[in-house]
Amino acid sequence: MWEEVLVHKSEIELHGDSYQIMIYCRKDGRHFAQTHLGENDIIINDGSSLEEVLAKHERLLPLAINSRRIRRDYQGFVGRIKSKRF
């Protein structure tokens, strides 16, 4: 099991919501960033340095959040269509 140390914490605002980014360093020197979006929904990216993983996470986090919004909106749209047919 890896020992991880929190080395950076920041927030990013997207669509009016604030998301916390936490970056950890592993014992082997690799870094990973994580953001909790929900109870069982965590976005994780890794890299060789704090700067690399933070840049990657800040670039990919909006994509992850937008894809979840699109899926949620689509599922809501499909549900409304089905309920009108029956």
Q: What does the pLDDT read at residue 60? A: 94
Q: Which residues of the chain have pLDDT under 50?
A: 80-86
d(CA 48, CA 15): 29
CB–CB of 41/21 below 8 Å? no
Q: pTM for this structure?
A: 0.77
Given 3-state DSSP classes, what are the helix, strand and coil percentages for the chain, each rounded to the nearest 5? 40, 40, 15
Q: What does the pLDDT read at residue 51? A: 96
14 three-class SS: strand
DSSP string, 47-58: ESSHHHHHHHHH
Q: What does the pLDDT read at residue 71? A: 84
